[in-house]
Amino acid sequence: MKSKVSSGEECVARIPDGARVMMGGFGMCGIPENLIRLLVAHGAKDLTLISNNAGVADFGIGLLLNNGQVKKMISTYVGENPVLERAMIEGRIDVELVPQGTFAERIRAAGAGIAGFYTPTGVGTVVAEGKEKRVFGGREYVLESPIHADFAFVKSWKGDTHGNLVFRRTARNFNPVMAMAASETFAEVEELVEPGSLDPDLVHVPGVFVQKVFQGEIYEKRIEKRVHR
């Protein structure tokens, strides 16, 4: 099998203006830090970002927001980023908020080739406006559609040169499903190893879903919100 090792610069060079980009991670954990920094330098604009949250003002997705590169955010939670809050209030960015479980399932559905699914989450709220509804077992459900992307940026703990990925703890939340839901997936890894080094039973994303992989350089691993007694 051909090596999929690339550079971060080569990955982001493929991102055009107006692209839909998924970005893995949860809070500050498991986010594709290197790819985000390189995308800022690349300068692609009018992006639609699909991410659980929008990070903080001076790190992660916040860097793209500060640089005016984001047209729309599809997220579950954006409360820690005042830059996004201001942009929403001023009408400079469109934000689609999705219940977190629905968000995860919509992305999983895209990767699994599922055309849609019914969920009770959001019934009777603005989330359900304009969507088809049906009753199952006496309970109302709303039809949700998959979330696809042109590109997915994911960050894993370990990966081999064929693109097989292993995630660690919280970083496993959204990265694996996003890797399957995009036309092209770029993975940055903390440790790049040779084929055969990973236990096949522990691989979370097979290399068939990954187009390019590269060794990340620096990981700050910030804490989103510190809580003290």
Domains of the chain: 8-115+146-215 (3.40.1080.10)
pTM, two decimals, is 0.92
Residues 86-107 have a mean pLDDT of 93
Burial of 9: CB neighbours in 10 Å, binned 0-12, 13-18, 19+? exposed
Q: Residue 25 corresponds to which tokens in the numbers above? A: 């991670």
User: How long, in residues, is the chain?
Assistant: 229
Predicted pLDDT of residue 184: 97
Predicted pLDDT of residue 18: 97
Is residue 217 over pLDDT 90?
no
Predicted pLDDT of residue 2: 87
Is residue 223 over pLDDT 80?
no
pLDDT digits (tens, 9 = 90+) for 31-79: 999 999 999 999 999 999 999 998 888 888 999 999 999 999 999 988 7
**pLDDT class for 194, splitting at 50, 70, 90?**
very high
Is residue 224 over pLDDT 70?
no
Residues 193-221 have a mean pLDDT of 92
Predicted pLDDT of residue 78: 80
